[in-house]
Structure 1
Amino acid sequence: MPDVPFSCPCGEIKGTLHGATPTSGNHVRCYCSACRAAVLYTTGVDVEDRGVELYQTTPDKISFEQGQENLAVFSFSPKKLLRYRASCCGAPLFTMLPTPKFALAGVMTDLLADKTAIGPVAMEAFVPQPDGSSKHTSVVRLYGGTMWRALVARITGRWKQTPFFDIATGKPVAEIYVPTPEERARLPL
């Protein structure tokens, strides 16, 4: 399975996504307002209706060669997804649940040196519908693959191999910042 280098745009944070294939993770395009807001919050660019591309895998598949101290964490609410960004250049990097016990890491695919290893987008989440609702495509693969990988990581103990949490405390490696109501008011949440 191929290892794919990644880096933030300024190059201060560098690492490797290990074992990246179309079947070892989910290449997802997400249209939810929170993903859109996270990109807008970190970059100032609104992805509008293009969606945000992520590769969902387990945290043990991610390692850092340099710049891990530049990870910053924010969340739109203390109990919602954690969003890791680069403190050096502000780029969005990763998303995950607020606990290391459910092994899930979404890697922003724009960081990857070569996206061909993960294949094309295989599923979409929160796709806007004409009636104002949303739907997912490839639901079984989206949720089934995520749940299966997390379960295997839990059973084998791989969930403890995470560069994003201090396992002894269960807390992220950086203090979680929750945007102020004023900052949130400018976002499509």
Structure 2
Amino acid sequence: MADVPFSCQCGEMKGTLHGATPSSGNHLRCYCSACRAAVLYTTGKDVEDRGVELYQTTPDKISFQQGQNNLEVFSFTPERLLRFRASCCGVQMFTTLAKPKIAMAAIMTDLLHDKTAIGPIASQSFIPQADGTSKHSSILRLFGGTIWRALVARVTGRWKQTPFFDIETGKPIKAVYVPTSEERKSLPL
């Protein structure tokens, strides 16, 4: 198991992804419109048909050594997914579910200083099909692994070890910003 450093684009925020291995999380590529919209919203760059590369694990595997106070939270659907970005440079860094008791956190893999510990992409979600539908690859790894890791974190109490939520209130560490309809107008939602 490797501890892999990560940082935002400008380096103001620094942290560590602990115990990273191909089996302790899921290295995936997501093609959903919400992931694409989040990257476009935070960077101004559209990933188009390339998808977004993430590593899903549990929040207790993520710690900050510098700049955690720079985290901002936004969401297109606050009751489902929360997205955390760096206020210093604007880059999206993490995605979590809206409830801390369901322990899931995904880190944008391009922020990792070395991706070798997480292995190659093991699954893909919302892969666009010619007929306009989408499908998933390695669905058991994609969903089963996430559910299993969240269940273990819940049973062991590790879900409480999160840099993203105030466990006493169950709320994110900062107020969730919901982009206005004007801001969302150019996004592929």
When normalised by structure 1's length, the TM-score is 0.99
**Are residue 59 (structure 1) and residue 64 (structure 2) matched?**
no
Matched with 1:174 is: 174
**Structure 2: distance between partners of 1:142 and 1:77:** 21
Q: CA deviation at 1:23?
A: 0.6
* Cα deviation digits, residues 65-101 of structure 1 (max 9, x gap): 0000000000002213100000000001000100100
Q: Aligned residue for 2:76? A: 76
Structure-2 separation of matches of 1:103 and 1:139: 19
Alignment of 1:147-162 (within 5 A): 147-162=147-162
Q: Give the root-mean-square deviation of aligned CA atoms.
A: 0.5
| Matching residue of 2:92 | 92
Counterpart of 2:29? 29
Structure with the higher strand share, 1 or 2: 2
Q: What amino acid is aligned across from residue 61 of structure 1 in structure 2?
A: K
Q: State the partner residue of 2:127.
A: 127
1:184 aligns with 184
Where do 5+ consecutive residues of structure 2 fail to align? none
Q: Which residue of 1 aligns with 2:142?
A: 142
Q: Secondary structure at the match of 1:120?
A: coil
* 1:17-69: CA deviation from partner (whole Å, max 9, x where unpaired): 00000010000100000000000000000000000000000000000000000
Q: Structure 2: how far apart are the matches of 1:23 and 1:155?
A: 19
Instruction: Work out the CA distance in 2 between the residues paired with 1:54 and 1:6.
Output: 13
SS in 1 for 2:20: coil
Q: Would you say 1:102 and 2:102 are equivalent positions? A: yes
Whichever residue aligns with residue 123 of structure 1, its letter is: S
Task: Find the residue that maps to 1:103 and give its secondary structure.
Answer: coil
Task: Give the structure 1 partner of residue 11 of structure 2.
Answer: 11
Q: Percent same amino acid at aligned positions? A: 76
Give the aligned residue type for 2:187.
Answer: L
Structure 1: distance between partners of 2:77 and 2:127: 23
Unaligned runs of 5+ in 1: none
What is the DSSP-based 3-state SS (H/G/I as helix, E as strand, rest coil) of the residue aligned with 1:143?
A: helix
After the TM superposition, which of the residue ranges 39-48 and 72-81 deviates more from structure 2? 72-81
Number of equivalent positions: 189
